[in-house]
């Protein structure tokens, strides 16, 4: 036990002390906001720099009027098509839109000419505008005032309340639950891959540099493997903890700063813009209510459980693979059995679990140990019956005990084998051999 502890310490400290760890830990939470910031900045910059693009419109039926926007101006004329095309070619016009006299019931033959490939936003802008105009025109022809339609348009918002067994009522919201499941699932998926790979590389380093020969003369291979897996888990948890603290403080600081900077009105306006003008205070309150309704303690504790459980389960397999090969490039052929269930879980999270958390497929995905760490996170915020959670958790514990035993048997032989490229067959032999 003492020796495992020594290995854990070394594996942990040698990674946490690295400058690259500090850098990655501090920078990763900033990467996404930074990328978003850069995109927004570029978009704003582009908008500011762009000269107004003029589009020649030849409307043969004279039915349409397109409003100019900040980016595009529309010039209506009766020019000959060839003449209009020439204007585009010469660069006097950005594009040329030809609307022939069309049958409103089946509008065909509208063409856009341009020098460059038109961007999606322009085309969809034109399409939606024309569509609106055609619809209005047809309503008008049918004798209906388009205003009535605008009047009739209603927005429906269902407030959903979950009844729990004790008879309590809880406001829930599919979007919030979706977001929680989505984030937690992805986080576990990434963690397993990133740190699993670190385990594998660590094992390969010890094996190829022959340190392992000295190590296993001092402790049992199984202790060495376990120490490495646990030590690296500690690194991951540390990173997660730093991120939580960092993001928490940053958010508080930023919101606090914005709150100070903005005059009251403007802040209100901003809030309204985000939430939608009609229901400013009530909707905000509802979201708060939903968030309050979520049992964060149970979500966080199950998250930590599946986070660790999934990592341990796959970590052992990564260690087993690392022990079987001499170099990371040889590891590819054995990665398949590890990556396939992970990807199945990941895809299953989006295709099944988040769509319908209570379907049969979702149930099985969240119970089978290889997929449960990711799939269960998609269900957890919707509430999972106790027995299902208990089943899934105990199977996960059994699962990681199983993979650890399995990997341990490969590991104890693999780490001492040099220069042979093992196949699945030889690994199967190692698995069965007594020593």
Q: Are 104 and 172 in contact (CB under 8 A)?
A: no
Q: Applying CB under 8 A, which of residues 47, 131, 210, 421 lies at the interface with other proteins?
A: 210
The nearer residue to other proteins, 14 or 69, going by C-beta atoms, is 14
Encoding tokens for residue 270? 């901003």
State the nearest-atom distance from the C-beta of 307 to other proteins, in Å: 28
416 contributes a contact to other proteins by CB under 8 A: yes
User: Among the candidate windows 208-216, 266-274, 308-316, 353-361, which touches other proteins by CB under 8 A?
Assistant: 208-216
State the nearest-atom distance from the C-beta of 415 to other proteins, in Å: 10
Encoding tokens for residue 324? 């079987």
The nearer residue to other proteins, 3 or 85, going by C-beta atoms, is 3
> Residues 213-252: x/- map of binding to other proteins (CB under 8 A)?
xxxxxxx---------------------------------
State the nearest-atom distance from the C-beta of 239 to other proteins, in Å: 19
Q: Applying CB under 8 A, which of residues 49, 209, 264, 329 lies at the interface with other proteins?
A: 209
User: Among the candidate windows 3-11, 33-41, 355-363, 397-405, which touches other proteins by CB under 8 A?
Assistant: 3-11
The nearer residue to other proteins, 16 or 416, going by C-beta atoms, is 416
435 contributes a contact to other proteins by CB under 8 A: yes
The nearer residue to other proteins, 181 or 202, going by C-beta atoms, is 202
The nearer residue to other proteins, 141 or 213, going by C-beta atoms, is 213
169: β partners: 163
Residues that bind other proteins (rule: CB under 8 A) add up to a total of 21
The nearer residue to other proteins, 216 or 344, going by C-beta atoms, is 216
Q: Applying CB under 8 A, which of residues 23, 211, 253, 351 lies at the interface with other proteins?
A: 211
State the nearest-atom distance from the C-beta of 372 to other proteins, in Å: 36
36: β partners: none
Q: Applying CB under 8 A, which of residues 200, 212, 368, 380 lies at the interface with other proteins?
A: 212
Q: Half-sphere exposure (CA, 13 Å, Cβ side) for 237?
A: 16
Q: Applying CB under 8 A, which of residues 56, 59, 173, 206 lies at the interface with other proteins?
A: 206
The nearer residue to other proteins, 212 or 338, going by C-beta atoms, is 212
> Residues 10-29: x/- map of binding to other proteins (CB under 8 A)?
x---x---------------
Q: Half-sphere exposure (CA, 13 Å, Cβ side) for 176?
A: 20
CA–CA separation, 389 vs 147, rounded Å? 53
User: Among the candidate windows 63-71, 183-191, 212-220, 230-238, which touches other proteins by CB under 8 A?
Assistant: 212-220
**Among 250, 255, 248, 242, residue whose Cα is nearest residue 26:** 242
Q: Applying CB under 8 A, which of residues 40, 149, 429, 431 lies at the interface with other proteins?
A: 429
CA–CA separation, 196 vs 236, rounded Å? 10
The nearer residue to other proteins, 153 or 432, going by C-beta atoms, is 432
State the nearest-atom distance from the C-beta of 216 to other proteins, in Å: 5
Q: Are 254 and 262 in contact (CB under 8 A)?
A: no
The nearer residue to other proteins, 142 or 214, going by C-beta atoms, is 214
Residues at the contact surface with other proteins, assessed by CB under 8 A:
3, 6, 10, 14, 205-206, 209-219, 416, 429, 434-435
């Amino acid at each position: 036990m003492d020796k495992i502890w020594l290995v854990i310490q070394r594996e942990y400290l040698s990674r946490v002390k690295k400058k690259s760890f500090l850098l990655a830990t501090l920078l990763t939470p900033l990467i996404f906001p930074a990328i978003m910031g850069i995109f927004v900045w570029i978009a704003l910059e582009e908008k500011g720099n762009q000269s107004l693009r003029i589009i020649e419109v030849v409307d043969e039926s004279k039915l349409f009027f397109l409003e100019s926007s900040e980016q595009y101006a529309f010039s209506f004329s009766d020019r000959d098509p060839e003449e209009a095309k020439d204007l585009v070619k010469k660069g006097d016009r950005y594009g040329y839109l030809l609307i022939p006299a069309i049958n409103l019931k089946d509008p065909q033959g509208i063409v856009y000419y341009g020098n460059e490939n038109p961007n999606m936003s322009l085309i969809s802008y034109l399409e939606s505008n024309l569509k609106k105009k055609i619809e209005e025109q047809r309503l008008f022809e049918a004798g209906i005032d388009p205003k009535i339609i605008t009047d009739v348009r209603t927005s429906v918002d269902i407030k959903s309340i979950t009844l729990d067994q004790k008879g309590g009522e809880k406001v829930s919201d599919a979007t919030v639950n979706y977001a929680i499941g989505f984030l937690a699932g992805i986080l576990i998926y990434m963690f397993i891959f990133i740190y699993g790979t670190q385990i594998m590389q660590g094992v390969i380093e010890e094996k190829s540099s022959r340190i392992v020969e000295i190590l296993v003369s001092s402790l049992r291979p199984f202790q060495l493997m376990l120490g490495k897996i646990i030590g690296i888990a500690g690194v991951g948890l540390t990173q997660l903890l730093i991120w939580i603290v960092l993001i928490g403080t940053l958010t508080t600081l930023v919101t606090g700063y914005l709150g100070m900077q903005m005059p009251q009105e403007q802040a209100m306006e901003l809030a309204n813009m985000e939430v939608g003008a009609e229901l400013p205070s009530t909707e905000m309150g509802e979201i708060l209510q939903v968030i309050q309704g979520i049992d964060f303690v149970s979500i966080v504790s199950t998250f930590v459980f599946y986070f660790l459980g999934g990592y341990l389960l796959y970590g052992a397999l990564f260690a087993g693979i690392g022990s079987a090969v001499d170099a990371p490039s040889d590891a590819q052929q054995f990665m398949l059995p590890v990556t396939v269930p992970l990807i199945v879980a990941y895809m299953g999270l989006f295709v099944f679990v988040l769509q319908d958390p209570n379907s049969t497929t979702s149930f099985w995905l969240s119970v089978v140990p290889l997929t449960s760490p990711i799939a269960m996170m998609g269900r957890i915020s919707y509430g999972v019956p106790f027995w299902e959670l208990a089943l899934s958790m105990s199977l996960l514990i059994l699962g990681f005990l199983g993979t650890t035993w399995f990997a341990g048997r490969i590991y104890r032989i693999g780490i001492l084998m040099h220069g042979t490229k093992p196949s699945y067959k030889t690994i199967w032999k190692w698995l069965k051999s007594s020593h």
